[in-house]
Amino acid sequence: MAIRQIIGQAIVSEDVVDIFDAVGLEKPNIGLLDEAFLDEIRHLPERNLAVELLERLLEGEIKSRFKTNVSQEKKFSDLLTNVIKRYQNRSIETAQVIEELIDMAKKFQAAASRGEVLGLNDDELAFYDALATNEASVRELGDDILRSIAFELTESLRKNISVDWEKRDSVRAKLRLLVKRILRKHKYPPDQQEDAINLVLQQAESLSAEWVGGL
């Protein structure tokens, strides 16, 4: 109960070390999702505690690393919720849920490092992910064109974002038109444009506070 209380109160930042101490694990050298650390969790004798620990760590990491990436935050939050729900409903055994959570952690780690591979900074990657949510667009346009659109969206939206823009209908309409023109210019699939525009604007809203604060 004491260990569970520590886990329940811990936030994945300063307090996460308390979780490691509580279950007798050394703090990972590379990061929360370090391969050696995940292997230690896999072999914890307290199987239910291992599940709870992984859930808390992943939940905190998702919020921390993807706090301004709407698409990835939703994707991994939904995956985590689904696995835990199946576990709570006894649809999968403890050993299986641990393996699924560890596999998710590895996918999460790969997703977090894609920006360097694609040559995109965090803001550009967030828009790239918003555009790539639709698999048809990825197949039709490919990485190079999606990267170009992400570059252009980031630059154009950053220049046109203002304080409280999301509350002003005229400004939202202007930005919507701007996004639509960029997508049309690069021949983004027409039948997917409306969903993409909405997601791009949602992504812009997530970044706007940081952008405006940096002006």
Reported as a single tens digit per residue, the pLDDT across 47-83 is 888 888 888 888 888 888 888 899 999 999 999 999 9
Distance from C-alpha of 76 to C-alpha of 126, rounded to nearest angstrom: 14
Q: Which amino acid is at 31?
A: G
**H or E element that contains 173:** helix 169-185
Residue 140 pLDDT: 87
Residue 149 pLDDT exceeds 90? yes
- CB atoms inside a 10 Å sphere around CB 135: 9
Residue 154 pLDDT exceeds 90? yes
Q: What is the mean pLDDT of the chain?
A: 81
pLDDT tens, position by position, 94-130: 888 888 888 888 888 788 788 888 899 999 999 999 9
pLDDT band at 33 (very low <50, low <70, confident <90, very high): low
pTM of the model: 0.76
The answer to whether 41 and 98 have CB atoms below 8 angstroms apart is yes
Decide which of 192 and 150 is more confident.
Answer: 150
Number of residues assigned to the chain: 215
Residue 135 pLDDT: 82
For the chain, the domains span 2-112, 117-213
